[in-house]
Amino acid sequence: MILFVITAILTAIIMVILSDPLMKSATTWQSGVKLLITGALCVLALYLFLGSPDTPSRAAAFETLDNPRAQIRLKQQEELVLLQALSGEPDNTGLLLRLGTIQIESGRADDAIPHLARANTLRPGNADIQIALAAAYFSNGLRIAEENKPGAMDAARKEMEAALTYAPKGHPIRADIQRAISATASGH
């Protein structure tokens, strides 16, 4: 926006300098104001035509990968590509695992559970799938526990107990799940 204002002022000054001899009937002040307005309108039209970082249709051009909004957009795009790929290969456990992982990272563990459960059915005993499925149930249980609804703690505990059944023995996630189950049992 600052660039717009500076450009408008500079354009108006240049137009006044170049066209003052042409506007003999108007005073210099009047011609300057007219040219300032004309220049500002020209620059505004150019600004609106080219867009800005605030323009949603052009926002992606101004985003970098360290920008959280860009990361969210990339994950959404990847999720769409994975869903499309799964329509042609519904039994591809790698696609199911990646889709579930993205959904967990996006805070949608409840959406991830069916995809990861299918992958686990197709490849039982796969540690990566089991860890992701345990993480999905665990995340979902934590989300439910945060709700202040009647029965939320019981529902959260059930999700976490499901997570514990999938967490491989000796994996660090088991200790986290067991602590959370204890916390939900005591109502904290």
DSSP 188: -
On the question of pLDDT at 188 being above 80, the answer is no
Domain identity same for 78 and 117: yes
Q: Domain check: are 76 and 162 in the same one?
A: yes
Tens digits of per-residue pLDDT, 75-100?
889 999 999 999 999 999 999 999 99
% of the chain beyond a pLDDT of 90: 34
179: in domain? yes
Whether the per-residue pLDDT at 163 is higher than 60: the answer is yes
Residues 19-54 pLDDT 10s:
555 555 556 656 666 666 766 666 665 566 565 545
Helices vs strands, H then E, count in the chain = 8, 0
Number of structural domains the chain divides into: 2
Measured between alpha carbons, how far is 68 from 91 in angstroms, rounded to an integer? 32
Alpha-carbon gap, residue 97 to 100, rounded angstroms: 5
Compute the 3-state secondary structure of the chain and give helix, strand, coil in percent, each to the nearest 5: 80, 0, 20
- Domain co-membership, 103 together with 72: yes
3-state secondary structure 80-141: HHHHHHHHHCCCCHHHHHHHHHHHHHCCCHHHHHHHHHHHHHHCCCCHHHHHHHHHHHHHHH
Confidence (pLDDT) at 85: 93
pTM beyond 0.85: the answer is no
Residue 126 and residue 118 in contact, taking contact as beta carbons nearer than 8 Å:
no
Is residue 59 domain-resident?
no
